[in-house]
């Protein structure tokens, strides 16, 4: 784990902000993870999600993606497993250990298959076979972003109604969220969706 960036966290979590109304109380360690996550988001590090905070190397085995609702029979997802316009919550899947990479709610990603010709160039560059991936955690107060608004191609946070444009790098459409949802670049590992092999930036750079 990278160190907590307290100053960045303080910028996004003032004492006057309402606590996430839809989030259940978490053990002390989980709350620390939440603070760390918000710190990474506030620092603007696109690839700084907990499961990416490792020393990635060019020869590393790719992390595939599995349905977060699966309990034991984890099957890496292919692009054709996703119905267009239907978001799916997933976990990164470590091929070496044949298990999800840390089943914390902070590691949940949202996968969705969208029309490539409607994506901005930046969004398309991070996609694979029309599928994009974003953090499932709101950049406002750390609630889970779950509500799909088809007519806007947007995801909404049920806690404080922030909306994010998934065709345009999950930029904030409305609501109190200070930043877009962190985007996760995808690639194809054979026939399977996988997290593109990227090296996280060094803190402070």
Query: What pLDDT does 44 receive?
Result: 40
Contact (CB, 8 A) for 91 and 101: yes
**Quick check: helix, strand or coil at residue 37?**
helix
- Residue 122 has a pLDDT of 95
pLDDT band at 185 (very low <50, low <70, confident <90, very high): very high
Model pLDDT, residue 72: 64
* CB distance 47 to 202 below 8 Å: no
Q: What residues contact 87, with CB distance under 8 A and at least 6 apart?
A: 110, 111, 112, 146, 148, 155
Parallel/antiparallel/unpaired status of strands 171-174 and 186-189: unpaired
Kind of pairing, strands 109-113 and 154-157? unpaired
Which region holds residue 204: left if phi is over 0, alpha if psi is between -120 and 50, else beta?
A: left
**200 vs 150, which has greater pLDDT?**
150
pLDDT mean over 79-103: 80
- Residue 171 host element (H or E): strand 171-174
Whether 76 contacts 65, CB under 8 Å = yes
Mean pLDDT for the stretch of residues 134-161:
91
Q: Give the residue-averaged pLDDT of 90-117.
A: 79
pLDDT band at 106 (very low <50, low <70, confident <90, very high): confident
Beta strands across the sheet bearing 154-157? 145-149, 154-157, 163-165, 171-174
User: In the predicted model, is pLDDT for residue 117 greater than 50?
Assistant: yes
Residue 37 pLDDT exceeds 70: no
CATH topology of domain 6-195: Rieske Iron-sulfur Protein (2.102.10)
Is the confidence at residue 57, as pLDDT, over 50? no
Unique residue bearing structure tokens 């499932």: 136
Nearest to 50 by CA among 184, 145, 153: 184
Confidence of residue 93 (pLDDT cuts 50, 70, 90): confident
Q: Is the pLDDT confidence value at 153 over 60? A: yes
35: CB partners within 8 A, 6+ apart? 4, 9, 13
> For position 205, what pLDDT does the model report?
38
């Amino acid at each position: 784990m990278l160190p907590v960036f307290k100053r960045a966290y303080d910028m996004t979590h003032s004492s006057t902000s309402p606590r996430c109304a839809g989030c259940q109380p978490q053990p002390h360690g989980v709350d620390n993870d939440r603070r760390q996550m918000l710190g990474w988001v506030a620092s603007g590090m696109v690839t700084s999600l907990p499961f990416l905070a490792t020393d990635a190397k060019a020869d590393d085995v790719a992390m595939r993606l599995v349905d977060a609702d699966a309990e034991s029979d984890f099957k890496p997802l292919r692009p054709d497993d996703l119905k267009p316009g239907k978001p799916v919550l997933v976990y990164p899947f470590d091929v070496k250990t044949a298990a999800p990479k840390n089943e914390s709610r902070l590691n949940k990603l949202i996968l969705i298959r969208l029309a490539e010709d409607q994506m901005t160039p930046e969004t398309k560059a991070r996609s694979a076979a029309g599928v994009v991936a974003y953090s499932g955690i709101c950049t406002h107060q750390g609630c889970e972003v779950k509500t799909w608004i088809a007519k806007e191609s947007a995801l909404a946070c049920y806690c404080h109604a922030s909306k994010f444009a998934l065709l345009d790098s999950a930029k904030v459409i409305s609501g109190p969220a200070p930043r877009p949802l962190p985007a996760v670049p995808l690639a194809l590992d054979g026939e399977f969706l996988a997290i593109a092999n990227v090296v996280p930036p060094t803190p402070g750079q």
